[in-house]
């Protein structure tokens, strides 16, 4: 095998690695396995919000009610805790049919709850499928829901959990349908 053939084979192998489903973080198939995402609501802090995630027609429906009572105000859908390495990617892509509300996506670098998350928000369009691409450099460090003055960048080689959240005092019912969340 000559040098040019080796280079061409390496390029093809690299491209096939980028195009396989390893960059899928959430889809209907994953929700049917041990890698399914789970619900975490403000009840962990005394709040009264409720939510659920179900698979229907190969989509994930995340719905519920955000309550501001008892200092509550959020509902979230969270990935399994494991070692994610996003160094080879530029950001997160989400295909979502929303309800016109604002959602956020967060990542954290610990396996325990310490209040620190790298977060950014995005808007949905009511009853319309959209694809949202969020570059990693748009994520800011938040501590217990408040943006810090830190310029610390996401440790892309050391992410332990990803979550989708609705909060920001958006009380009432919500409904978001996900086709996928992946890295790009």
- Residues 33-89 have pLDDT tens digits of 988 999 999 998 899 999 999 999 999 999 999 999 998 999 999 999 999 999 999
- Residues 6-46 have pLDDT tens digits of 443 444 444 333 434 569 999 999 999 988 999 999 998 89
- Residues 103-153 have pLDDT tens digits of 999 999 988 777 789 999 999 999 999 999 999 999 999 987 788 988 888
For the entire predicted model, the pTM comes to 0.84
Radius of gyration over every alpha carbon of the chain, rounded to an integer in angstroms: 18
Residues 6 or more apart whose CB falls under 8 angstroms from that of 78 comprise 37, 38, 39, 40, 161, 162, 163, 164
Compute the distance between CA of residue 95 and CA of residue 132 in angstroms, rounded to an integer.
Answer: 6
């Amino acid at each position: 095998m000559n040098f040019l053939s080796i280079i061409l084979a390496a390029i093809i192998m690299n491209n096939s690695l980028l195009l396989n489903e390893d960059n899928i973080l959430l889809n209907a198939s994953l929700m049917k396995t041990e890698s399914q995402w789970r619900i975490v609501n403000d009840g962990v802090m005394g709040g009264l919000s409720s939510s659920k995630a179900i698979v229907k027609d190969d989509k994930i429906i995340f719905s519920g009610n955000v309550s501001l009572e008892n200092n509550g105000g959020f509902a979230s859908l969270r990935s399994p805790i494991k070692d994610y390495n996003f160094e080879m990617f530029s950001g997160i892509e989400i295909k979502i049919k929303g309800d016109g509300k604002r959602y956020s996506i967060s990542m954290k670098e610990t396996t325990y709850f310490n209040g620190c998350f790298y977060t950014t928000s995005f808007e949905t369009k009511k009853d319309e499928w959209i694809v949202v691409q969020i570059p990693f450099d748009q994520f800011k460090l938040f501590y217990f829901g408040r943006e810090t003055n830190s310029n610390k960048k996401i440790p892309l080689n050391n992410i332990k959990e990803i979550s989708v959240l609705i909060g920001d005092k958006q009380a009432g019912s919500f409904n978001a349908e996900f086709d996928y969340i992946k890295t790009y």
